[in-house]
Structure 1
Amino acid sequence: MKHLKNLLGITFCLLITATSYGCDLKAKEPTSTALTTKSITEKPAKQYVKIALLLDTSNSMDGLINQAKAQLWDIVNEFTHAKCGNDSRPLLKISLYEYGNDNLSSREGYIRQVLGFSSDLDEISEKLFSLTTNGGEEYCGQVIQTSLKQLDWGKNADDLKMIFIAGNEPFTQGKLNYKDAATNAKENDVIVNTIFCGNYEQGISTMWKNGATLTGGEYMAIDHNKQIVHIDTPYDDIIIKLNSKLNNTYISYGALGRQKKAMQSMQDSNAAEMEAAVAVKRSVSKSSRLYKNSNWDLVDAVEDNEIVLSELDDNDLPEELQGKSESEINIYIKEKKEERDAVQKQIQELNAKREAYISENQKEETGELENALLSAIKTQAAKKNYKWD
């Protein structure tokens, strides 16, 4: 009974208010040296864009889920270019909830947290592909409230915190009044954006627009049945081949590494099975700054100073590095890093040509959901001095 569409992903950059540097380049003048020191030492080392996607997985949402799988990489690739006024880059975390599915617990309001806030793009993709649909009751107010309670939204006022909820049943269903959930969201500096899958006026009459307005969010209505047209380009096959080369630069370590390396390959296959264009978009995402895997890949781990090679057991290493000295391993990692940088640069250069080709040949607009998400994100981010390069 719901229809969402070319989903995901989402969203962008850190904000900065006059009192705490960041996107706002005109920081408030401190009243003393002590205050200046205090503001600097207390400022979080990282700032985030946090997005919670609340997706209806009742019977009629199969098309929506498929669109979400396809559009995840478009959103990620768009977000790659986001930055604040001071040229810093935000970190992206995405959470996923499903609601309105009979397979879920009635005691929990037919709601399930599929994934807490994560920056692991392979994991986000895996969870999307795991979703299945079944009829149920859709409690919009309750799923919003649940995401507010369960997720770690943090206390940093400079983080951009957004909820996107999609469906097509009345926003008023359930025992928990959506207005109470919206009030709670606003108190926690979380913007609720609503996406009604159906007629624009019907979404207004069933309170989807009001649910967004109460928090300063955007209301959008989309045609969930509209098919997305992907344009093939002369660069697609080359990018897909380069993706295989890119995978060969990952050096997994430990039990988690073996598992994650397999997941990387599986998500490549999932994207390719949908359509070649989706595989290309995923490859582009993997060539960006947002695809980081320091918890299982030695190249990223060493670059981020998150692991000391001397602390690893020999059998934690891949077979080709076992029995090697730390010096030999460092040389190997450096070579893989240089190889990765070169492949990623090639993909980015080819993608620039690919996008120009699409721009010249595209007769139809991109997916309505994708357009709706990006429009809402950029509108709200602009108020906090975000920009795209």
Structure 2
Amino acid sequence: MKTIQNILAILLLTVMYSCKADTSKPIATIAPVAIEKPDNLSKHYIKVALLLDTSNSMDGLIDQAKAQLWEIVNELSYAKSKNTRPNIQIALYEYGNDRLSSRDNYIRKVLAFTEDLDEVSKELFSLTTNGGSEYCGAVVQTSLNKLDWGNNADDLKLIFIAGNEPFNQGPVNYKDATTNAKEKDVVVNTIFCGNYEQGIASNWQDGARLAYGDYMAINHNQETVHIASPYDDVIIQLNIKLNTTYVPYGHFGKEKIAVQAEQDENAASYSKANAVSRTVTKGSRLYKNSSWDLVDAEEEEGFSYDKLKQQELPEALQRKSKTELKKYIAEQRTERNRIQKEIKELNEKRRLYISKHQSETANGLESVMVKAIKKQAKKKNYTWN
């Protein structure tokens, strides 16, 4: 018994001496690693509801929305709130179109709040104009009632309503609607399509003032100016490569990847520079497709390979084992990250080039929206970098 105790004592002394002797040596295998919280875990949102007049004279407004969407989104991607990057949600309403139901005050919710930017683009390109009655108070109130604005006080909640008829028309008093907006912590910004003074006279400025928003006037028939840069061709080639990293799955996988390609074409229909702007968005954290792309979906909480149905995978992947599929998705993610990093680096050079060649004439809708968003975000301590 005493012998065993002696042996144990010797072992204990040996261990103590070893630990003491090793304290001067760093042990790399257990060094703490700082892990930055991924942006997509941010719980903050910038919520933008876009209310567009689609009556006869508004073709130019709709064109500006289509042509300038990606630059607006790209500018929002630089926002920061409490050291996290907020997510972006966009909702879309049309109003003032005779094709819409009179029972609904000629108002249609085109999209509820969504992070699916391809859907936003798709629906913008589906809008057509027609004569009608423009009820501004009614569409503001409808968007307040029908959209999920949430209860997070740190969220930036914004309405942008654009049109060119008097703001006080229709069955809902705009003063009541803007009062209700304030109660929901929603800022109402008004964009009059026409002469600045005429907009003031027809209550557009008052509508913004009552809900702590900005009143703006634009020439909605002004053509969008896209500035080409020396980096555009390379970025567009990277978009082609980026598209190959998407792995459609589920009931709507094939349909959604077709929508992605269609929106690439729609952006390019305005100019090469606009296609580049869309590619920059696709290279950013804001472009999320977890509902149909396996690479994005795998990073979502609750995702399980066990829930995947073989017949809902691309044919080339249906015979792969779970291990093989995981390896393939990991390879696609690595390639996507590499491409997106390259897009980001080239875009920084592109932004610098554009800032040096920007003319005095700014794009109407894009310019006023970005300016208002930054101004109002500052009040909630958002920063831009």
Q: How does 1:205-354 map to 2 (within 5 A)?
A: 205-354=201-350
Q: Which runs of 5+ in 1 are unaligned?
A: 1-43
Q: C-alpha separation between the residues in 2 aligned to 1:68 and 1:262?
A: 22
Residue type of the alignment partner of 1:70: A
| Partner residue, 1:176 | 172
Residue 75 (structure 2) aligned to one of 66, 72, 78: 78
Q: Deviations over 1:133-178 (max 9, x none)?
A: 0011100000001111111111222221110000111101112111
* 8 Å Cα contact 1:229/1:364 also seen in 2: no
Structure 1 position 196, deviation (Å): 0.6
| Partner residue, 1:64 | 61
Name the SS for the 2:252 alignment partner.
Answer: helix
Residue type of the alignment partner of 1:362: Q
Q: Deviations over 1:96-135 (max 9, x none)?
A: 0000111111111111000011110000000000000001
Residue type of the alignment partner of 1:57: T
Structure 1 position 364, deviation (Å): 3.6
Name the SS for the 2:191 alignment partner.
Answer: strand
User: Which has more helix, going by share of residues?
Assistant: 2
Between 1:374-383 and 1:226-235, the stretch displaced more is: 226-235
* 8 Å Cα contact 1:80/1:290 also seen in 2: yes
Q: C-alpha separation between the residues in 1 aligned to 2:360 and 2:55?
A: 29
Name the SS for the 1:115 alignment partner.
Answer: strand
Alignment CA distance shift 1:284-1:379 (3 Å): same
Structure 1 position 253, deviation (Å): 0.7
Q: C-alpha separation between the residues in 1 aligned to 2:224 and 2:313?
A: 43
Q: Which has the higher contact order (CA 8 A, sep 6+)?
A: 1
Structure 1 position 45, deviation (Å): 7.2
Structure 1 position 226, deviation (Å): 2.2
Name the SS for the 1:221 alignment partner.
Answer: strand
Name the SS for the 2:288 alignment partner.
Answer: coil
| Partner residue, 2:374 | 378
Q: How does 1:22-41 map to 2 (within 5 A)?
A: none
Alignment CA distance shift 1:306-1:366 (3 Å): farther
Q: Does 1:101 align with 2:100?
A: no
Structure 1 position 306, deviation (Å): 4.2
* 8 Å Cα contact 2:42/2:86 also seen in 1: no
Residue 132 (structure 2) aligned to one of 118, 136, 139: 136
Structure 1 position 200, deviation (Å): 1.1
Q: C-alpha separation between the residues in 2 aligned to 1:372 and 1:362?
A: 16
The number of residue pairs the alignment matches comes to: 345
Q: C-alpha separation between the residues in 2 aligned to 1:290 and 1:152?
A: 19
Name the SS for the 1:70 alignment partner.
Answer: helix
* 8 Å Cα contact 1:172/1:178 also seen in 2: yes
Q: Which runs of 5+ in 2 are unaligned?
A: 1-40
Name the SS for the 1:232 alignment partner.
Answer: coil
Q: C-alpha separation between the residues in 1 aligned to 2:253 and 2:69?
A: 24
Name the SS for the 2:192 alignment partner.
Answer: strand
Identity %: 63
Q: Deviations over 1:29-60 (max 9, x none)?
A: xxxxxxxxxxxxxxx97221111100000111
* 8 Å Cα contact 1:294/1:306 also seen in 2: no
Q: How does 1:180-219 map to 2 (within 5 A)?
A: 180-219=176-215
